[in-house]
Amino acid sequence: MKQAAMSDGQVLPGGRTAVSAAFEGSEEIAQARHLARAFLTHLRTQHRLPVSDRAVGMTQLVVSELVTNARKYAPGPALLTFELDEDVVEITVWDTEPRMPVVRPADPQRVGQHGLEIVTAVCQDFEVHREPVGKRVKAVIALADDQVGDMAGRVV
């Protein structure tokens, strides 16, 4: 995984903090989870933000699902980005596959293919955007436990 330095994170216009990593192999899913934890720990310790343990766990779960889908269905490289936006973390995965993902209805009899079902259940927001090359999937997780993880997934 080629990743941005985690020293103070990258400061974007408007004071937003972000970190990104490019990856090309499925063995890097664990590294993507580690980057998620490191980014949220950075927000907690350096920015003194209230990042709950639940938010850390849910972010790592969402990262695992989104990165796994990118590696499984998209040829070529992918880009993972974490951004702080006020009291939420935005997780964005860009990949080269132009087909839009489909969130399947719940089916306890189905073996596998529950990833996006899980992601939409734990996120405040979920969006998919077509790009000139591929697509960009964005999931939003609240940093503090007092916010409800209610969301309505959108494909744009």
Q: How far apart are CA 63 and CA 59, in angstroms?
A: 6
* Residue 32 included in any domain: yes
Q: How far apart are CA 9 and CA 18, in angstroms?
A: 6
The pLDDT score that the predictor gives to residue 61 is: 95
The pLDDT score that the predictor gives to residue 154 is: 40
pLDDT tens, the chain, 156 aa long: 444 433 345 554 455 689 999 888 666 889 999 999 999 999 999 889 999 999 999 999 999 999 999 988 888 889 999 999 989 999 999 999 999 988 777 777 777 667 788 898 899 999 999 999 999 999 999 999 864 444 444 444
The pLDDT score that the predictor gives to residue 149 is: 45
141, 59 contact by CB (below 8 A)? yes
* Residue 2 included in any domain: no
The DSSP 8-state label assigned to residue 108 in this structure reads T
83, 90 contact by CB (below 8 A)? yes
* Residue 108 included in any domain: yes
- 109 Cβ contact list (under 8 Å, min separation 6): none
How many other β-carbons are positioned within 10 Å of the β-carbon of residue 130?
A: 13
Domain count, the chain: 1
- Tell me the pTM: 0.81
Domain that holds residue 62: 18-155
The pLDDT score that the predictor gives to residue 145 is: 83
* Residue 114 included in any domain: yes
The pLDDT score that the predictor gives to residue 80 is: 95
Radius of gyration over alpha carbons of the chain, in Å?
Answer: 15
Residue 155 pairs in a beta bridge with 128
* Residue 40 included in any domain: yes
* Residue 8 included in any domain: no
CATH for 115:
3.30.565.10
* Residue 11 included in any domain: no
* Residue 100 included in any domain: yes
DSSP helix/strand/coil, 5: coil
